[in-house]
Amino acid sequence: MAVWVYLLDLKDDPALIAQYEEWHKAVWPEVLDHLRSIGFRSCRIDRAGNRLVMLVESDGPVASDGGGGEVSPRVQEWEAIMDAYQQRLPFATEGQKWVLASTIFDWHI
């Protein structure tokens, strides 16, 4: 099992950022079920300013935009709501929200 790091920006508006955080206090069960079904074992999102960092524990990199399997209408609805708060990184590919980060340093004792 490995940890994968994904990045995404929020629209730089304090009110929108606060709303986005409120949504994540009660993520819909259907969304969590979907994440589990596509291989997420754990997921954590941290924020600095409007930059989000998502840490995903899984056997390999997984689709992080609601993809990676059949997506229910409820998960699609969640993704559409979240999209109103998010903005793509300038180097994201077409249709990509969360960008997989590359590890450049990994030190352990």
Copy the structure tokens of residue 67: 């993809």
Do residues 55 and 44 lie in contact, with contact meaning Cβ atoms separated by under 8 Å? yes
Beta-carbon contacts of residue 51 (< 8 Å; ≥ 6 apart): 7, 8, 9, 10
Identify which has the larger pLDDT, 51 or 94: 51
Query: pLDDT digits over 59-106, tens only?
Result: 887 765 655 557 899 999 999 999 999 999 999 998 889 999 999 999
Do residues 20 and 84 lie in contact, with contact meaning Cβ atoms separated by under 8 Å? no
Residue 64 confidence (pLDDT): 58
Assigned CATH for 2-100: 3.30.70.100
* Spatial distance between the Cα atoms of 9 and 28, rounded to a whole number of angstroms: 21
Identify which has the larger pLDDT, 33 or 70: 33
Going by pLDDT thresholds of 50, 70 and 90, the confidence category of residue 54 is very high
What's the DSSP call for residue 86? E
Average pLDDT across the chain, whole number: 92
- Going from N- to C-terminal start, the domains of the chain cover 2-100
